Structure 1
């Protein structure tokens, strides 16, 4: 009877240990996924920022070309 109780305790300890390992691994995967999403978001923001800067530079260049053409056409 006592041996059976001891065996049950050991089995329960093993089950709980396995559940804990599984839970820890799931938490690790969850955090890893969150970190990847965070990196992806930052990369997208940086890419969009660079695109906006390039677009502004292009627009300023176009304005400068138009002003130069206008000055040459007026003279």
Structure 2
């Protein structure tokens, strides 16, 4: 399996924390040197390990925001 390179460009929010200390975060992440995207996933305390997550372009995140506001 190929190594995945990432850089957390900006931490935008910690959404929750598990009893084991992992945080579910909204970050701006550059994957394999590409343009940064918005990313929601679980991270270990030192950001060395990660869980599965979702990655969004700015347009996708905007659409998700609109959908979530309709649910209120």
Length-normalised TM-score, structure 1: 0.23
- Give 1 or 2: higher strand fraction: 2
- Give 1 or 2: higher helix fraction: 1
